[in-house]
Chains A and B, each alone.
Chain A
Amino acid sequence: MKNKFKDNSQLIQLLQQVDKLLTLSPFADRQCNFMEICGTHTVSILKYGFRNYFKKRINFLSGPGCPVCVTSQKDIDKVISLAQMGVRIATFGDLIKVPGSKSSLEEQMALGKEVNVVYNPLDCLKIADETDEEVVFIAVGFETTIPVIASLILDAKKLRIENLSILPLMKTIPTALNFLLTNLENEIDGFICPGHVSVIIGERPYKIIPEKYGIPCVIAGFEPVDIGLAIESLVSQIRKHTPIVDNRYKRVVKEKGNISARRLIEEVFEKTDVEWRGFGEVPASGLKLREKFSKFDAEKKFNINVKSSPEPEGCICGEVIAGKKQPVECPLFAKKCTPDTPIGPCMVSYEGACSAFYKYGEE
């Protein structure tokens, strides 16, 4: 079956039109800065060659949309500390290679510590059921993943599973965006808003961006046609001076998002201040378990004693996440830091900007 969003000859015409617009006012003498918030967008933009196609006319900046990348060094150290205590870790695969300040989960596995890779947080129920050991799920993720983590907690409570807890490292995108906007150093001409996160949160949380900051937004999917339409939308909005939140991913993103998924989140979690790599502490941008679920909080259950530690020397992951620098500006990029020997998290995760640049970078 042909995928009309992937393989569509009309896309080339569309891109040629956009390209022509970019030679006219107000673009003629400058480069546009578009930020894609989601890591999967970074991958698509590089993989399909959009970055190279619009070279010199559009500068694509990666944003804080890769959950592993934005996890702070201190939180990574907490994960490793839990493994060292001998609890069984359940985690998404991406986290395994992320280096903490002294070790990584990969190294702990080699030393014989138990680490289970899960694709679905709910798999933890089975793992906990089959062992007497303490199982801790490393709960990283944005709004896309958080409803499933909420379900995990509700199911664990219902099934009275005593040996399961989570290390809550979840973060929410709109709060991070607001923080980013109030601390902007670079001028951003448009945002490509995440596709999957928007399925849950809908269009509304982004409205403040055009309304307060006058910056165009587009919600987009991940196929080449989706990216083409997103770029076209941002360019037209700038031309017409009509910044809005343009939903170009209507086939899955509804205006109000997924209300029942948000209710699940609301039932289990409440807002809390958390630390982001690259941003530091951002007020109310993370989630913690509500009091009645606190026995599932690994942070409370185990005595995790980890001090703040600096990010690896030379690593600019924090600046990459904040859209201040490109991966290729990092002195370690593709030299000391490669997917085989990652120094920062952006080189580890599939969605990480550095990993995407390494894999799909242009000349």
Chain B
Amino acid sequence: MDHILLSHGSGGKNSRKLLKFIYDSLGDIVINRGEDSGIAILQTDKLAITTDSYVIDPIFFPGGDIGKLSVCGTLNDLAMVGAIPKYLTLCFIIEENFPFNNLRKILYSIKEEAESAGIKIIAGDTKIVSKGKLDKIFINTTGYGIIEHSQEINSHNAQPGDAVIVTGDIGDHGAAIMAVRNDFESDLTSDCASVVPLIRKLLAENINIHTLRDPTRGGLASILNEIAISSSIDIELEKVKIPIKDSVNGICDILGIDPLYMACEGRAAIICPESEVGDILNILKETNDGKNACKIGNIVDKSKEPRVYLKTFIGARRILPLLSREQTPRIC
């Protein structure tokens, strides 16, 4: 049997076979197998929970696949409140006739990411739908993490005078996906990765952080606008300081898209007091995923009409707005 059949979702023999296939592929990262509920053991009074569904097209892309994305994406959301991830739930909705080989590849990616993050799969589900009712495979993951630090890290906490730092190049994921979709030959790869190790390092060094966000759908411009609105502040970025690969700029030029609105899947924007910038950059630059980290701007002022401004390379200022009609079909 090479392909998923509807009967794999029937609850009968084939369902058990599919479940065994998943357990075998994931190995010992799955706990509480076969029970109706997983039981988490946590010694904390502060728990972070986040959930996300992954519907990306294509499911395999340079630098990752939907499996890796479904783990990293959720872990990154936990990291954005400074949580240490502990457990993940894993739900698949699969289109009839989906190849087992592809499922295995996806499961191996999930295993690899979960192992390197030291987390366990605590619960899960599979559903099979008839051909044409969805596109190949959708994954939902819910992440649970514990918060050990005592900082207030949230979107409402950005303050005038703070610096804005990004942990690496902007727009790689979105550009890589667009390249594949448009049949462009390119060496672009997605930045899909967990930023948990970077953030844990910063917190371990007692760095004072005000806000963390990962620039996924909508890109850097969108999340900074959201932070500006939540914190009632104006942000000013310097275009020349934002790290963007020439190849990403190239593909964005061809497609008429602004890289600042392109999704990243392995980056974080850090908003912190200016006095922390030096230490943060020193710590990040020692890591492989953070070696291109840099400061790209500042929070300039409190504002009743919060805005993000971009200083262009000729030294003029323009608004970097929240886009309302960005077409980024199923990029994450």
Contact = CB atoms under 8 A, between A and B. Distances in A.
Contacts of B309: 363
Contact of B246 (A2, A15, A46): A2
Nearest to B246: A1
A53 B316 contact: yes
Interface stretch (A69-77, A192-200, A354-362): A354-362
A52 interface: yes
B134 interface: no
B46 interface: no
Contacts of A3: 249
B241 interface: no
Contact of B256 (A2, A7, A350, A363): A350
A344 interface: no
A210 interface: no
B319 A362 contact: yes
Query: 7 shortest A-B CB distances, which residue pairs?
Result: A49-B316, A49-B312, A53-B316, A52-B316, A339-B325, A340-B324, A362-B318
B317 A52 contact: yes
Given A50-B316, A52-B316, A359 B246 contact: no
Contact-residue size bin, chain A (C-beta under 8 Å from the other chain): 20 to 34
A3 B325 CA distance: 28
Interface residues of B, number: 19
Contacts of B246: 1-2
Contact of A359 (B249, B313, B314, B323): B323
Given A2-B246, A340-B325, A361 B314 contact: no
Contacts of A362: 316-319
Contacts of B12: none
B190 to A, nearest CB: 22
Chain A CB count within 10 A is highest, among B310, B313, B323, B324, for B313
7 contacts: A48-B316, A49-B318, A52-B317, A339-B323, A358-B321, A359-B323, A361-B319
B34 interface: no
B329 interface: no
A154 interface: no
Contacts of B319: 360-363
B315 interface: yes
A224 interface: yes
A78 to B, nearest CB: 25
A31 interface: no
Contact of B315 (A51, A53, A350, A359): A53
B314 A46 contact: no
Given A1-B246, A360-B319, A49 B325 contact: no
Interface of A: 1-3, 7, 11-12, 15, 46-53, 224, 228, 338-340, 350, 358-363
Contact of B318 (A1, A224, A340, A360): A360
A363 B324 contact: no
B220 to A, nearest CB: 16
Contacts of B311: 49
Contacts of A358: 321
B324 A338 contact: yes
A50 B314 contact: yes
A7 B317 contact: no
Contacts of A11: 314
A1 B250 CA distance: 9
B321 A48 contact: no
A48 B317 contact: no
A13 B53 CA distance: 50
A48 B312 contact: yes
A51 B315 CA distance: 12
Interface in B280-319: 309-319
Contacts of A359: 321, 323
Nearest to A14: B314
B325 A361 contact: no
B26 to A, nearest CB: 41
B313 A7 contact: yes
Given A53-B316, A340-B324, 13 more contacts: A3-B249, A46-B318, A47-B318, A48-B316, A49-B314, A49-B316, A50-B316, A51-B316, A51-B318, A53-B314, A361-B319, A361-B321, A362-B316
A147 to B, nearest CB: 21
A3 B315 CA distance: 19
A363 B314 contact: no
Contacts of B249: 3
Contacts of A49: 310-312, 314-318
B314 A224 contact: yes
Contacts of A363: 309, 317, 319
A346 to B, nearest CB: 14
A120 B317 CA distance: 36
Contacts of A51: 316, 318
Nearest to B326: A339
Nearest to A11: B314
A224 B313 contact: yes
Contacts of B312: 47-49
Nearest to A12: B314
Nearest to B324: A340
Contacts of A361: 318-319, 321
